């Protein structure tokens, strides 16, 4: 074999080996090493556009314009069924979540506790409930079912109910550790959990993207949807050992898109999910609605307009826009909710368009779809390496065997 033929053979072998290596190397997902990593390393989560500051939308001809009165520091509109992000503004910006973090608490703890189990609450169970925080009215020495407590969580945003359920789950520290693990499993790497109930705590943050992931995971559970879509319920003053209530008082959901308020009508088709407020976080809201066979999730964090009920009006405007934009916009990102080796996909059967409609939802496992950018990068890398090897070979032949 002459020198040129041998060189050609070696370059070809090196090119094939390099291309095979690129294709064989698995892509490492952002933040596989833990929770709450630096924002720059979340750039690929959901797609590169979602890491960009400002409004992200890809309108087709005839698509409606986004609402002009949006003032939230961060917001996102997503299709819960397909996982497509229709529009976003600072999707990965880390902000205090307030009680919207209870969505992560719910998707973490709901599967662990049977709904009709009775618990006699102790003072220790309620230790650590933040001063001035929202409560449903759980009292030490009284007994309640798990279902009672979940109504307290979703309707009254009761931190006392969260602490009682956390105690039933083993302890609050254990529950917080599980919430962190759940966030990582869902691909929510902007979130840092310090308090399970969303009470302001140093370093506790989430993002519109992550809160949408939590909501989508919740919508895959009929019990989550049932609680989050309940407008009004009776809460027991306590229960006897046989489970019979000693009395009741009425509680109402604090989500004003669900129950309405002066100057704010109930939103048609709303099926939850959770609102929140603290002086540090401002108003936050994750709202899901279903119309015409489509389920949309809108997350709004900390409107700056100062208008009364701004978080609800802005969420309503974004929901209206999302339904009107059906088929008229291209996705700017994707919701990647990882559960083990599979992505979770929420599947909903049609429900009535009503403020208290309950979605019959189920979770099905589908193959883990890597983001298109991962596949594209792998194939492109192989082609570039192969092309580079061939160009170098040709250039060496052309210029008398010198590398140029």
157 catalytically annotated: yes
133 catalytically annotated: no
Q: How buried is 183 (Cβ within 10 angstroms: 0-12 exposed, 13-18 middle, 19+ buried)?
A: buried
279 catalytically annotated: no
Which is the catalytic residue, given 44, 51, 74, 99? 99
- SS3 of residue 198 by DSSP: coil
Closest CA to 86 of 314, 345, 331, 328: 331
Which is the catalytic residue, given 44, 74, 157, 207? 157
Which is the catalytic residue, given 44, 102, 206, 378? 102
Give the length of the chain: 404
Burial letters 104-116, b for 16+ CB under 10 A, else e: bbbbbbbeebeee
Q: Write the Ramachandran bin of 198: left for phi over 0, alpha for psi from -120 to 50, otherwise beta.
A: left
Half-sphere exposure of 270 (CA within 13 A, CB side): 30
Residues contacting residue 113 through CB under 8 Å, at least 6 positions apart: 146, 165, 168, 169
Distance CA 361, CA 212 (A): 17
Q: Which residues are catalytic?
A: 99, 102, 157
């Amino acid at each position: 074999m002459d020198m040129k033929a041998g060189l050609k053979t070696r370059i070809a072998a090196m090119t094939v080996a390099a291309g095979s290596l690129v294709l064989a190397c698995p892509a490492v997902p952002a933040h596989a090493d833990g929770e709450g990593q630096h924002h720059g390393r979340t750039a690929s989560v959901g797609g590169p556009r979602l890491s960009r500051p400002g409004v992200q939308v890809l309108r087709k001809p005839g698509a409606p314009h986004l609402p002009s009165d949006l003032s939230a520091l961060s917001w996102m509109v997503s299709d819960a069924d397909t996982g497509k992000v229709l529009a976003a503004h600072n999707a990965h910006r880390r902000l205090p979540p307030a009680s919207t973090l209870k969505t992560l608490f719910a998707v973490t703890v709901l599967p662990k506790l049977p709904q009709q189990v009775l618990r006699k609450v102790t003072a220790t169970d309620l230790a650590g409930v933040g001063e001035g925080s929202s409560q449903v009215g759980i009292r030490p020495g009284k007994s309640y079912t798990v279902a009672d407590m979940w109504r307290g969580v979703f309707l009254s945003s009761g931190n006392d109910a969260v602490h009682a359920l956390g105690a039933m789950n083993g302890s609050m520290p254990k529950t917080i550790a599980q919430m962190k693990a759940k966030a990582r499993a869902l691909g929510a790497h902007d979130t840092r959990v310090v308090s399970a109930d969303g009470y302001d705590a140093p370093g506790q943050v989430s993002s519109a993207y992550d809160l949408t992931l939590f909501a989508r995971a919740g919508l895959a559970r009929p019990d989550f949807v049932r609680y989050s879509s309940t407008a009004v319920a009776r809460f027991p003053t306590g229960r006897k050992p046989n489970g019979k209530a000693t009395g009741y008082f009425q509680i109402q959901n604090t989500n004003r898109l669900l129950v309405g308020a002066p100057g704010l009508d109930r939103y048609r088709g709303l099926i939850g999910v959770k609102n929140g407020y603290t002086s540090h976080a401002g108003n936050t809201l994750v709202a899901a609605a279903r119309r015409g066979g489509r389920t949309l999730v809108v997350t709004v964090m900390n409107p700056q307009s100062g208008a009364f009920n701004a978080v609800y009006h802005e969420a309503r405007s974004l929901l209206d826009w999302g339904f009107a934009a059906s088929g008229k916009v291209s996705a700017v990102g994707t919701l990647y909710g990882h559960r083990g080796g599979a992505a979770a996909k929420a599947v909903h059967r049609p429900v009535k368009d009503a403020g208290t409609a309950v979605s019959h939802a189920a979770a099905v496992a589908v193959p883990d779809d890597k983001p298109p950018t991962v596949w594209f990068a792998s194939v492109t890398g192989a082609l570039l390496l192969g092309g580079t090897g061939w160009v170098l070979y040709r250039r060496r032949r052309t210029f008398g065997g010198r590398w140029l």
